[in-house]
Every structure is written in structure tokens, then in C-alpha cells.
Amino acid sequence: MSKVRVRIAPSPTGYPHVGTAWQALFNWAFSRRFGGEFIIRIEDTDRKRLVAGAEDKLFEAIDWLGLTEDESPRKDGPYAPYRQSERLDLYKKYAQELVDKDKAYFCFCSEERLGKLRKTQLADKKIPKYDRHCLKLSKKEIEEKIKNGESYVIRLKVPANQKIIVDDLLRGKVIFDSNIIDDQVLVKSDGFPTYHLAVVVDDYLMKITHIIRGEEWLSSAPKHILLYRAFGWSIPIMVHTSVLRNPDKSKLSKRQGHTNISWYKENGFLKEALLNFLALLGWSHPQGKEVFGLEEFTRLIDLKDLSPIGPVFDLQKLEWLNGLYIRGKSDEEFLKLIKEYTKYSIDKANYQIILPLLKERVKKLSEVDQWLKFLFEKIDYNKDLLFKKGADKDLLKKQFTLILDKLSAINEWKIETIGENLRNIIVQNNWKPAQFFMALRVVISGSQVSLPLFESMEVLGKDESLERIRQVFNFLNE
């Protein structure tokens, strides 16, 4: 095998998509396994859809994930420039070469004519294709039109009656009929190339050995093969990966809020968990493992093991994985991580009791404040929660009177003494623990679900805990 060179070629038309990260991961890992090179090429020829700052956001995401490239617009290499808008002269040169070889031709048809043609073909139930109206123009007529400043495009001249075979590593041989392939535009009227010309020229000049891209490009592959043949170039190995799908099997599109890579960082997903999750989309560990690191994935990745079936992007599974990675952090590492996501001032000395308990419960770092809020702010809870588990006002009055009495007498406010006193109350009065502790939990934390009760009360402190218990009497005596 020649030296592996792979690439991703995103367009800066919006925020970096998680699908781009998925493609980057497989390309990066494959290149690293075989000692190759990973290139990022920016395809910015669709000038109308460019979004300012999108390219910077892409590289921020790449850096956060740790999938740093070998060559790109920001990392110069032997095949620069790596931004298509800076390679226009190359595309013009190769487009003219195709024209000279009678593999492409100039087209001067207006948008109005093309629109009418398409409408007529659709009405006649025909496949919409260009009718080669301009193919009959003589060289002299073409030169005259160009001299007069008439707008034109350059089209690929697709040969008739040919079977074009796309040899895909995952899907085998996919056969296309050239008679239903349109004479694709290669150079637009603004002088910019279309994707089809630019991607073939760039992949060839940059010595790309494996084209790993989404299956949405499979229908374009025969056009690219025709271009490779027209130029007389060897065709790289093609791998058209499956499309990521939502749990309802619809395509994971940009309309889904969680397709933005930055969304994962902002919501407190660890990059290790996200990469692990992405690796499991369309690939399975040989030993059936679901939890593994980037190094292990890189050591095992083989393109032929990818699945052509669209994997489901299950956000709940990602949250589960993220929770595992969070729990794998030391308390010191966890504390450092959550400081970026909490508005509260915490440190290990003050909250060493809470930190390991919090770590066991958090699935995303962005959830930290909802668990800690009751420790820092006055709580306002739904009073109806007190009556869960079958309690009434008389029972609650008696329970909280005894709780306040017993806990006020405690000198050493520790988990053990808090717990011992509360359990004694239950035993002496033959009360149901579930109801008793649920009511107290609501009063202390404001919620039925919280950090462990005794630990929470120790961290909250005696004065604040007793104050919250006293407040419940105002409601019970209404």
C-alpha cells in the first residue's frame, strides 16, 4: 500500500456538524493506524452560502476533539493552498484540458431556457437533463460568444451507453447507466468550480489514497470516475459511509439542535466520551466492547469493518457513556472540570463529601448546578410533594416537630449522628421510612430527587438545615 493520505473537505456554510466530526474521526484514526497523513481541505466554492467565522469554528472543534490534522489552511504542506477559493487557476487549467480533449464543453444557455427545459422534461415524465443545445456550437461561435462577454459554464460530456462501475469498499460494485447521468456543470458562470471538478482535481493533486465520505455522495461517484478517466488518473479507493440517523430513522440534519459540535462541549460532554460514541456508529469493537479510548480504536480500525447500514444517533446512549467517563475521573479532575460549568464557588475542601456523590449522578457537566442549587440558594418547593407516600398534615406536624427537637440537640453535626437520630425517630414511632425521608428530602433540597440526604444536611450545615425545617411549620399551620 502506498502511503495513506486521507482527508475531510468541509464547507464553511454553518457550524461544524457532528457528522463532520464522525468523518474526521474515521479518517484521522485510519491515517494514524497506517502511519499516514490526515488533511483538512476547505471547500468554499459555494460563495452564496459561506458563513463568516465558520472555518474558525471548525478548527476549534477539531482541536477540542484532539483530531489535529497534518495539512490544512492553517498547517502548510507540500500541496498548498488547502482552501479551494485559492486554487481557482488550477481548476480553470484542468477544465480547459477537458475541453481540449473533447471531454467537456462550453454552455451559454440562460437560466430561463434551462428552467423551461426542465419543466418540459418533467411534464413529459423524462429524467431532467441538459439537452446539449450548446454542444453543436463551432469553435468560432464559442470564441465569439466569449469575446462578447456572454455568460457561460463548462459542462462534462458524459459518454452515452456506458456502464460506470463504482467499486466501493463497503458496498461492492455499484453500477450506473451513463444515459441517465446529466452533463454536470464543472465550472460555474462566476468562474468557480463545482464540487465535482474541484474534488477530483484536489484529491489527485494532493495524492489522496482513500476517499472516505458519506453515502450521499455515492450518486456523484460515477461523474467523478468519468473525470478520473478523462484525465487519465488512477482512482483512489472509495468508501461511502452510511448516513447518521435519528432514533426515528430520519437523517440527522442541521435542524436538530444537537448536530452542532460545540453543543456537546457547552452541555458538558467529555470529548473522550463523544469520540467513543462516534466510533461505535457504523463500527463494532472486535471483542464487543462499548467503552474504549481513542488509542485502542486507532489500533483496531479497518475500513472494511464499517457497516453500510445507517447507525442510529442515540443521545441517551451518549449520555450513559458520558456518565461512565465522568465517574472514571478522580475527584480532583472532576472538580476542575465542573468549575467551567457551575456558577457556584466550590472547592474540594468544602465539598469533599459531595463531590464523589455528585460525580456518581451527573451524566453531563451542565447538570451540576441543578444538583448543587439547593446548597447555595433558598429553595421554593411544591408543597404537594410533602404529601407523597400517603402523609397528611397531622402526621407531618408530628414528624417535623420530632425532627426539629432531635436534630437541635445534636452537638456534632455529622452524617453519622444526623442519620442515627433520624432513624431512631422512625423506629420509635413505627413510621414508614420512605414517607418520612421523602418529606424531609423535599424540605431540605426542594426536590424528590437529590444528593443523599444525610450528606446534604452535613454540607448545608446545622443552622441552615434547621431553618428549612422550621419554615415547613408555617405551611403546616395554615
Residues involved in catalysis: 254
Q: Say if residue 359 is exposed, middle or buried (CB neighbours under 10 Å; 0-12, 13-18, 19+).
A: buried
String of DSSP letters for 368-434:
HHHHHHHHHS-----GGGGGGGG--HHHHHHHHHHHHHHHHT-SS--HHHHHHHHHHHHHHHT--HH
Task: Identify the bridge partners of residue 164 per DSSP, sorted by sequence position.
Answer: 176
Contact 4, 37 (CB under 8 A): yes
| Residue 465 phi, psi dihedral angles, 5° rounding | -60, -45
* Rounded CA separation 223/215 (Å): 15
Which DSSP symbol is given to 101? T
3-state secondary structure of 218: helix
Establish how many alpha carbons lie within 13 A of residue 220's alpha carbon, considering only the half-sphere containing its beta carbon.
18
Task: Identify the bridge partners of residue 106 per DSSP, sorted by sequence position.
Answer: 154
* Rounded CA separation 26/22 (Å): 7
Contact 12, 51 (CB under 8 A): yes
Contact 41, 23 (CB under 8 A): no
Q: Which amino acid is at 261?
A: I
Contact 188, 217 (CB under 8 A): no
In sequence order, the 6+-apart residues with CB closer than 8 A to the CB of 235 are: 225, 228
Task: Identify the bridge partners of residue 245 per DSSP, sorted by sequence position.
Answer: 251, 312
Q: Using DSSP, how many helices (H) and how many strands (E) does the chain show?
A: 20, 9
Contact 224, 196 (CB under 8 A): yes
Residue 403: name the closest of 478, 354, 476 by CA. Answer: 476
For residue 8, the Cα-to-chain-centroid distance in whole angstroms is 15
Helix, strand, coil percentages for the chain (3-state, nearest 5): 55, 10, 35
Residue 451: name the closest of 333, 318, 346, 340 by CA. Answer: 346
